[in-house]
Amino acid sequence: MRKVGFFRSIHLKFVLIYMLLILIAMQIIGVYFVNRLEANLKSNFTKSLYERTDLLKFLTKEEIIKQREDEDPTQKEAIRKVLQDFVASDISEVRVIDSKKEIIGTSDPNNQGIVGQRTTEGSVKRVLAIGSQESHPYVENGHRIWILTSPIKNNNEVIGAIYLIAKMDTVYTQMNEINSIFTTGTAIALAITAVLGVLLAQTITRPISDMRKQALAMAKGNFSRKVKVYGYDEIGQLALTFNNLTKKLQEAQATTEGERRKLSSVLSYMTDGVIATDRKGRVILINDPAAKLLNVSRETVLSQPIISLLGLEEDYTFDDLLVEQNSVILDFSTYDKHYILRANFSVIQKETGFVNGLITVLHDITEQEKIDMERREFVANVSHELRTPLTTMRSYLEALAEGAWQDDEIAPQFLHVTQNETERMIRLVNDLLQLSRLDSKDYRLNKDWVNFVEFFQRIIDRFEMTISQNITFSRTFPKKEIYVEIDTDKLTQVLDNIISNALKYSPQGGEITFSVKEKNEFIEVSISDQGMGIPKDNLEKVFDRFYRVDKARSRQMGGTGLGLAIAKEMIEAHCGRIWATSIEGKGTTIYFTLPYDPSQEDDWS
C-alpha cells in the first residue's frame, strides 16, 4: 500500500477546518467585544453625568444657603447663571428645585415660565422626602433619554434637588457605527468561510458520496459499480479497499444466492410449516406455510424464541426440545374453534456434535383430531343406543324362554315391549342410514314449486287430528301465498321431526305456536313450545347427533336423538339455515329459513 504524504492526508484538511472554526470564534469574540463596549460607553456616560451633577449640586447649594446683601443678585438669578454655564450638548435640561418643591431654576431658555412653579415630578418629590438619588432610562418620541434626580444636602439636610434630563442618542449612534463595522466584517468573513467550506467539502465529501452511492447499489444487489479514486490520501485508500470489498462480496453473494434459491425452492413447495432456529433457540427462518399455520408475519417472529412462538414456555425449555424424540401437540383451540398442530423437532449438528440450531416441522391435525373425536363419540353413542333395546329384548326373551310365554297376561306384554324395541332399533338404523347418505351427499332433492303456507297447514292439521294430549295449536301465517322450491318429502320429514319434539316436551294444557314470516330473499319458519327448555350452555348442541335434553324421557318416547341432526342436514341441503332459542322452564323455539324469490309469485299464483 502506498504511503500517504502529509500534504495529501486528511489531517491537513482537518487543520483547515480548525482554521475556519477559529475564524468563526473570532467573530464570536467580536460580538462579545461589542456588547462589552456598549456597556462601557453607557457606564462612562452615566459616570460623567454623575460627576457634573455633583459639581452642579455644590454650586447650587452655595447659592441656596448664601446670605444675600441688597446689592447681590437674587437667588433665582444666581442659579440661572450657574445653569447657563452648565449647558452641554448631551444634556437637554437641568432643573433646580428647593425644599418647598418650587422650581427655582432651569437651563432651558425656552422653558423659563416654569420657574417659581411647584414641580409635579414624582421622582423629585420622592428624592426630597427620602433623600436618596434616583435614575432611570426613558424613551420619548423615539429618543432615548436618561433622567437623574439627585438631592442637594447641607449637613445631611435635604435643601433641594437637581432634576437632569440627558440625551443618550450619542451613545447608541456610536454603537450603531461600531455594529455596522462588525456586521460588514462578519459578512466578509462568512463569505470567505463559505467559499473555503465549499471547496473543502468537495474534496472530502465527493469520494464519500461515491462510496455511499455504491453502498446503496450493493444493498440492492448491484455489484457492478466502482468507486472513483480521486487521490491517494486516507479516503482514496478507503475507496480502493471498498472496490476490493465489492468484488469479494459479489463473488460471495453469487454463491449464497445459488444456495438460497435451492433452499427457497424446497421450502416454498413444502406443504408443511418449517421453522429454523440458531443455537440459542431464536427463529432465523420460517416459511409461508408455517407463518400461516401460526397466524404470524415473518418479519415479527424473526429473532423471537421458538418456545415463545409455539407457546411452550410453561412446559418446555429450548434444551428440552433438543432432546425431544416424540411429537408435541400444540393446542390453539378457542371456545368457538378447534385448532390443533403437531410439531416434530430435528436438531442441526456439526460433525463434531456442536449444536447449530433446531428444525421444527408443523402439521395441521385439526380435521384429523376432529374426525377421530367424532368417530369415537359416534361409535360410543350408537353402541349405547343399541345396547339399551337389545338388553331389554334379551331380558324379556329369556323370561319368555323360561316359561313366561305360557302366561296369558304377561306373554302379550313381553311380546309388545320386544316389538316396540325392535321398531325402535329399526328407526335408529334407518336414521343412521339416512344420515350416512346425507354425509356422503348420496341423495337427490326432487324439488318442486309449492305454496309453503298451504303445505305447512296440511302437516299441522295432520298432527292436530291425531294428538291425544290437551295441547292447543296457534298459527301466525301470511294471508298471501308464498311459493318456494322444495323437496316436499324431505321438508315433511323436517317438520315432522320438529313438531314431534315440540309435542314430546309440551306439558298438558300447553300451546305450540307455528309462524311463517316473509323476509328479504328468504322465509323464516318457527315452531315454539312451552316445554322445559334447553340450558343456555347446551343450546348449540341440540343439532348434534344423539343429543337429548332429557335422555330418559326421550328413550321412553322412542326418540333416537337424530331427528334434529337430520333436519339440519336437509335444511342446509335446501340452502337454508336452522337454529334454536330457548329459555329454561319456559320453552324452546326452532327456526329455519328457506330461499324465497318474490318475483316467482306471479308465475305460480
Whose CA is closest to 528, among 508, 512, 548, 549?
Answer: 512
pLDDT attached to residue 552: 43
Check for a shared fold between 1-261 and 448-604.
no
Report the range of poorest mean pLDDT among 2-6, 56-60, 103-107, 191-195: 2-6
- What is the per-residue pLDDT for 515? 93
Mean pLDDT confidence for 576-605? 81
Please report which confidence band the pLDDT of residue 321 belongs to, taking 50, 70 and 90 as the band edges: confident
Evaluate if residue 605 carries a pLDDT over 60.
Answer: no
Q: Which of 164-168, 542-546, 551-555 has the lowest mean pLDDT?
A: 551-555
Return the bridge partners of 514, or none.
475, 527
Cβ count near 435 (within 10 Å): 16
Q: What's the chain's average pLDDT? A: 78
Domain topology for 1-261: Beta-Lactamase (3.30.450)
**Stretch 233-255: mean pLDDT, rounded?**
79
Which residue reads 428624592 in cell numbers? 127
CATH classification code of 370-439: 1.10.287.130
When the candidates are 3.30.565.10, 2.60.320.10, 3.10.150.10, 3.40.50.720, the CATH number that belongs to 448-604 is 3.30.565.10
Per residue in 15-58, pLDDT (tens digit) is 567 567 767 777 787 778 778 877 887 788 778 778 887 887 78
DSSP structure string for 190-253: HHHHHHHHHHHHHHHHHHHHHHHHHHHHHHTT-----PPP--SSHHHHHHHHHHHHHHHHHHHH
Length of the chain: 605
**For residue 294, is pLDDT > 50?**
yes
pLDDT > 60? residue 590: yes
Query: What sign does the dihedral 231-235-237-239 (CA atoms) show?
Result: negative
User: How confident is the model at residue 237, as a pLDDT?
Assistant: 78
> Cα dist. 373→50, 338, 366, 423, 436 in Å?
109, 12, 11, 29, 17
Give the residue with greater pLDDT, 467 vs 474.
474
Q: Give the integer Cα–Cα distance in Å for 428 and 451.
A: 32
Tell me which residue of 212, 161, 358, 373 sits closest to 278, measured CA to CA.
358
Closest CA to 573 of 489, 499, 493, 486: 486
Q: Which three cell numbers stand for residue 546?
A: 344423539
Rounded average pLDDT over 466-479: 85
* Level-2 CATH architecture, domain 270-364: 2-Layer Sandwich (3.30)
The pLDDT, as a whole number, for residue 517 is 92
89-114 pLDDT, tens digit each: 777 788 888 888 888 888 877 888 88
Nearest Cα neighbor of 501 from 456, 559, 450, 541 is 559
pLDDT of 364 above 70: yes
pLDDT at 2: 46
Q: Where are the domains of the chain?
A: 1-261, 270-364, 370-439, 448-604
Three-state DSSP class for 328?
strand
- pLDDT of amino acid 513: 93
